[in-house]
């Protein structure tokens, strides 16, 4: 059954040339004639001049909200509550917005009071006024197609706005996934290129043991891969919607069949398999999914920042730093120091990561601040998440294309550092023993001598043995050389056990262990401490 026509509303009137007069609860307001938005959007523009970032700055959010409006119009028409002419006008206007038109007609600041009402009304007014044009009417003639009565039928900001936010995250996640894949590929390509470059590993910024530069790059790729798996599951995480819950999740002012039909239509419009949340009341008030996703972005940011730190350290120098690698020079680095080139790309990535980590804190604080049946702070939640998604996507692409792909290795410097390092003594420790190796390290450090030269000078190992220990395969992974060492050490240390009956126990296990295993009196016969009388 088609719903009866709404009561007539006060029509827009011409105020001055180039403006129309619109009316709402608070009175009249002039709206430029070339604007598709209306009076409520005008009030939001006046009220919320905060970030300078309009909602149109995030096309995925606008696209998602237009899809929700289209799906709702289709559902309302199927239920007989919206006539075909109005449905067609809403759907066509929504399709234009979905395809990227009219983005400049969404000027409302993304951070706003009202739990997203200004964003919802901005969309309602643009669709209504564009729909009026398609129907042959003038903008503002809302008695033919009304932003609230028709475009917003069976809806509340409290269900359509979070639904659109969830979809916007799903749409915005795909570019980030692709950018992380590109970064991983760039790292894997460098891992293959540098697989034979022997370099010194470092722990706590001190010389440690050798490794290959290829392994280092491969490790960075692997750690990003763990987060890629999580990002690829985001569509499933955000597929449960509260659409149809209207104001607080109870579904007031909707047909009992509306929710299931609206979700079905939205799935068809978006191409995403969507479901209705088990509890619309819970889904309307809880921000758990947004917190989880923001935390995932923070985790990725922490890893990217650490990788950027490593890149800056490894390229430090060129003569006074580590200098294992060369980053591609992007721009002159100093206005006063000629020839200086700074690691500007990793530095920029660091700063993006700092911002994303801060955004995550804002998301969690806003999530905690929700009260009773609604969280009024969803605008700042989605602002920070979409900002983080955009920045992380751009930063990972930048890091891959303008840094990782152009890195070169200082191969000779890396190998010389390994040979001259005190840390190389670790490779000889199984053959010389820990104490002797420690003495060699101290001597090398005190005299500035090379560890290998000291070993040769003291005739501790043959040249052949030294060469076999110093092979890259032995220095950078498990070694077959150690199996023979362990057998010999075991033979020497266990000779006194071949006839244990002739050896005192304290020589085998130590006097402390023997004392521990001596017979003890039964528990009940142990002497208990007695309280001393007070003086």
Catalytic residues: 334
Specify whether the backbone of 372 is left (phi greater than 0), alpha (psi in -120 to 50) or beta: left
**Token pair of 500 as six digits:** 């244990």
**Token pair of 393 as six digits:** 């996507």
User: How far are the Cα atoms of 19, 36, 125 from residue 33, in angstroms, in the given order?
Assistant: 5, 8, 13
**Token pair of 146 as six digits:** 């009304």
SS (H, E, C) 51-110: CCCEHHHCHHHHHHHHHHHHHHHHHHHHCCCCCHHHHHHHHHHHHHHHCCCCHHHCCCEC
H or E segment to which residue 203 belongs: strand 198-203
Residue 4 CA, chain-centre distance (Å), reads 49
**Measuring CA to CA, which residue among 216, 215, 196 is closest to residue 307?**
216
Question: How many CA within 13 A on the CB side of residue 38?
Answer: 28
Calculate helix-pair angle for 481-493, 425-432, nearest 10 degrees: 40
**Token pair of 408 as six digits:** 């070169």
- Looking at 266-361, which runs of residues are DSSP E strands? 275-276, 325-326
Q: How is residue 279 annotated by DSSP?
A: -
Residue pair 140/12 in contact by the 8 Å Cβ criterion: yes
| 27-32: strand order across its sheet | 13-14, 19-24, 27-32
The residues pairing with 30 across neighbouring beta strands, listed in sequence order, are 21
Phi and psi at residue 198, in whole multiples of 5°? -80, 130
- Angstrom distance (rounded) from CA 59 to CA 64: 8
- Angstrom distance (rounded) from CA 531 to CA 375: 63
User: How far are the Cα atoms of 104, 211, 420, 433, 468 from residue 453, in angstroms, in the given order?
Assistant: 73, 21, 10, 17, 15
């Amino acid at each position: 059954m088609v719903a009866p026509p709404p009561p007539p509303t006060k029509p827009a009137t011409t105020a001055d040339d180039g403006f129309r007069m619109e009316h709402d609860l608070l009175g009249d307001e002039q709206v430029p004639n070339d604007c598709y938005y209306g009076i409520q959007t005008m009030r939001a523009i006046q009220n919320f001049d905060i970030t300078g970032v309009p909602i149109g700055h995030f096309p995925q959010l606008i696209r998602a909200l237009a899809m929700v409006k289209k799906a709702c119009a289709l559902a309302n028409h199927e239920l007989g509550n919206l006539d075909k002419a109005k449905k067609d006008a809403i759907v066509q206007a929504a399709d234009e917005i979905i395809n990227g038109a009219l983005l400049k007609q969404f000027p409302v600041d993304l951070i706003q009071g009202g739990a997203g009402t200004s964003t919802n009304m901005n969309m309602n007014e643009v669709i209504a006024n564009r729909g009026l044009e398609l129907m042959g009417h003038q903008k503002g003639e809302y008695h033919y197609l009304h932003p609230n009565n028709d475009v917003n039928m069976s809806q509340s900001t409290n269900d359509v706005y979070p639904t659109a936010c969830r979809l916007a995250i799903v749409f915005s996640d795909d570019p980030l996934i692709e950018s992380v894949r590109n970064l991983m590929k760039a790292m894997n390509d460098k891992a293959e290129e540098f697989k034979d470059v022997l370099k010194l590993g470092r722990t706590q910024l001190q010389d440690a043991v050798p490794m290959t530069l290829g392994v280092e790059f491969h490790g960075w790729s692997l750690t990003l891969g763990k987060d890629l798996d999580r990002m690829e599951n985001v569509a499933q995480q955000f597929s449960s919607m509260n659409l149809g819950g209207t104001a607080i999740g109870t579904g007031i002012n909707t047909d009992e069949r509306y929710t299931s039909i609206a979700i079905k239509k939205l799935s068809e419009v978006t191409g995403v398999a969507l479901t209705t949340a088990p509890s619309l009341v819970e889904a309307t008030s809880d921000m758990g999914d947004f917190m989880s996703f923001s935390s995932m972005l923070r985790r990725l940011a922490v890893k990217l920042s650490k990788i950027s730190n490593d890149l800056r350290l490894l390229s430090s120098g060129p003569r006074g730093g580590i200098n294992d690698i060369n980053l591609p020079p992007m721009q002159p680095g100093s206005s006063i120091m000629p020839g200086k080139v700074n690691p500007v790309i990793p530095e920029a990535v660091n700063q993006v990561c700092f911002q994303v980590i801060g955004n995550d804190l804002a998301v969690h604080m806003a999530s905690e601040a929700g009260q009773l049946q609604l969280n009024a702070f969803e605008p700042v939640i989605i602002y920070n998440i979409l900002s983080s998604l955009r920045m992380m996507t751009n930063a990972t692409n930048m890091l891959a294309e303008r840094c990782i792909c152009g890195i070169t290795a200082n191969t000779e410097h890396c190998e010389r550092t390994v040979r001259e390092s005190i840390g190389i003594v670790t490779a000889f420790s199984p053959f010389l023993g820990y104490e002797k190796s420690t003495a060699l390290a101290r001597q090398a450090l005190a005299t500035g001598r090379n560890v290998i030269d000291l070993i040769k000078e003291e005739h501790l190992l043959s040249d052949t043995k030294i060469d076999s220990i110093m092979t890259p395969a032995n220095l950078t992974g498990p070694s077959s050389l150690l199996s023979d060492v362990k057998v010999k050490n075991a033979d020497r240390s266990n000779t006194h056990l071949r006839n244990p009956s002739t050896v005192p126990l304290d020589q085998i296990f130590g006097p402390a262990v023997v004392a521990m295993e001596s017979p003890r009196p039964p528990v009940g016969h142990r002497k208990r401490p007695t309280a001393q009388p007070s003086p």
